[in-house]
Amino acid sequence: MNTEKNKASTSTPFGGGGGIVIINYGAGNIQSIKFAIKRLGYESVLSNDVSEIQRADKVIFPGVGEASSAMKMLLNSGLDKVIPTLKQPVLGICLGMQLMCHSSEEGNTTGLGIFDVDVVKFDNTVKVPQIGWNQITNLKSELFNGIEEKEHIYLVHSFYAPLCSETIAECTYGLDYSAALRKDNFYGTQFHPEKSSDVGEKILENFLKM
């Protein structure tokens, strides 16, 4: 397996020795996430190595593109079996969050089943995809410590997770939907924190400090 071998800086404040791992499975905007983490003063590793992911102190699961193709990449690498078993804090971003749900209408895709919700497509009453800035409301997690209601975050998506018991933040785009989800040690954001200016960096920093 191809793995970037940059090791976490000795200043990385995690005790487990595994540092921050960004899952590199071929369907993520991983460099922008890596740069955002570096701006916060941390180092991270891009990896698809199972043992390295399992040893990590924090795991970020990104995703950009089409759900069924991304899921095939996970299946081919065996990561579909690994990700749901992780015990450390895990953050799914955009398509990564959607793949952590039960299913997605995009490509009739079966997801990882971590979040108890099915991803559906926006109807034709709104412009699809939603591209640009929106406000987050009803914040319910330490992920949003220091974040005010109605702060702006950046999104690019045609599919969404409806509101459910695991919703920890909401957006409105024709209807109210889940901007973020949480179950146990798993978190997901529909928006891109790495593209959401100071607000996104604070949310990312909150995750890294958990």
Those residues with Cβ within 8 angstroms of residue 131's Cβ, 6 or more apart along the chain or in another chain? 155, 156
Task: At 29, give phi and psi (nearest 5°).
Answer: -85, 65
Choosing from 101, 106, 192, 205, which is the catalytic residue? 192
Our answer to whether residue 66 is catalytic in this structure is: no
Our answer to whether residue 94 is catalytic in this structure is: yes
Those residues with Cβ within 8 angstroms of residue 135's Cβ, 6 or more apart along the chain or in another chain? 150, 151, 152, 153, 171, 172
Choosing from 52, 94, 151, 171, which is the catalytic residue? 94
Choosing from 52, 151, 194, 205, which is the catalytic residue? 194
Classify the C-alpha dihedral 111-139-149-28 as positive or negative.
Answer: negative
Look at the block and give the residue holding tokens 């800035």: 133
Our answer to whether residue 192 is catalytic in this structure is: yes
Task: Just list the catalytic residues.
Answer: 94, 192, 194
